[in-house]
Amino acid sequence: MKRNTKQQSYICEAVLELHHPTARAVYDYVKQKCPSVSKGTVYRVLASLVQEGKINQIQITNGADCYDWDCAPHHHLVCETCGAVCDIPADKIKTFRNNQECADMYIRTHTILFFGQCATCYAQTKKELSERGEIQDSERTTQENDTRLSFISINT
pLDDT of residue 149: 35
CB 6 within 8 A of CB 18: no
Total-model pTM: 0.71
In the CATH scheme, what is the homologous superfamily, with its name and number, of domain 72-148? Ferric-uptake regulator, C-terminal dimerisarion domain (3.30.1490.190)
pLDDT of residue 97: 56
Among the listed residues 15, 51, 50, the one whose alpha carbon sits nearest the alpha carbon of residue 30:
15
Per-domain boundaries in the chain: 6-58, 72-148
Residue ranges in the chain whose pLDDT is less than 70: 1-4, 94-103, 136-156
Among the listed residues 86, 78, 66, the one whose alpha carbon sits nearest the alpha carbon of residue 23:
66
